[in-house]
């Protein structure tokens, strides 16, 4: 079984890479050389699910970092397009709603962070008085 476990690790990583590249489960299985039913079983394993989620989170973290880096430019472009009458009305509406939603979520996140910091401070004070 030792050999099977190491083979599973290599194949698992290859399947995750194939899935992450946008391939369907069937395509990912074919590319890696496993039966689609095997991949379906792997997709049910907590170990596989955790690794797949980890890879997805890392990719989203990198993508979010790039978006944050270019946030000012993106907002300026969005506002410019929303103000441009040549931009289709549906696009302008989506831009306005998206920018508004993003601004609201940003405020909510800031509020949560402030409240969390206060709760942590209170917890530390309570711990000290024990």
Distances (CA, A) of 1 to 4, 43, 50, 69: 5, 20, 22, 47
pLDDT, position 111 = 92
20-43 pLDDT, tens digit each: 887 799 999 999 999 999 999 999
Band of the pLDDT at 7, cuts 50, 70, 90? low
Domain residue extents for the chain: 1-69, 70-130
45-63 pLDDT, tens digit each: 999 999 999 999 999 899 9
Residue 46 corresponds to which tokens in the numbers above?
Answer: 């907590």
At residue 3, does pLDDT exceed 80?
no
What single-letter DSSP state applies at residue 87? S
pLDDT, position 2 = 45
Q: How far apart are CA 119 and CA 117, in angstroms?
A: 5
Q: With the CA atoms of 94, 72, 67 and 70 taken in that order, what torsion angle do they form, in degrees rounded to the nearest 10?
A: 130
Q: Are 64 and 75 in contact (CB under 8 A)?
A: no
Band of the pLDDT at 71, cuts 50, 70, 90? confident
Band of the pLDDT at 1, cuts 50, 70, 90? very low
Band of the pLDDT at 8, cuts 50, 70, 90? low
């Amino acid at each position: 079984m030792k050999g099977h476990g190491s083979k599973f690790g290599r194949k698992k990583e290859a399947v995750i890479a194939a899935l992450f590249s946008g391939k369907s489960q069937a395509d990912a299985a074919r590319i890696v050389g496993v039966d689609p039913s095997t991949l379906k079983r792997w997709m049910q394993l907590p170990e596989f699910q955790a690794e797949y989620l980890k890879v997805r989170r890392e990719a989203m973290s990198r993508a979010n970092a790039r978006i944050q880096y270019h946030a000012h430019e993106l907002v300026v472009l969005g506002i410019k397009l929303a103000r441009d009458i040549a931009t289709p009305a549906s696009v302008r509406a989506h831009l306005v709603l998206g920018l508004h939603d993003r601004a609201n979520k940003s405020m909510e996140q800031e509020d949560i962070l402030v409240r969390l910091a206060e709760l942590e401070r209170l917890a530390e004070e309570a711990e000290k008085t024990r």
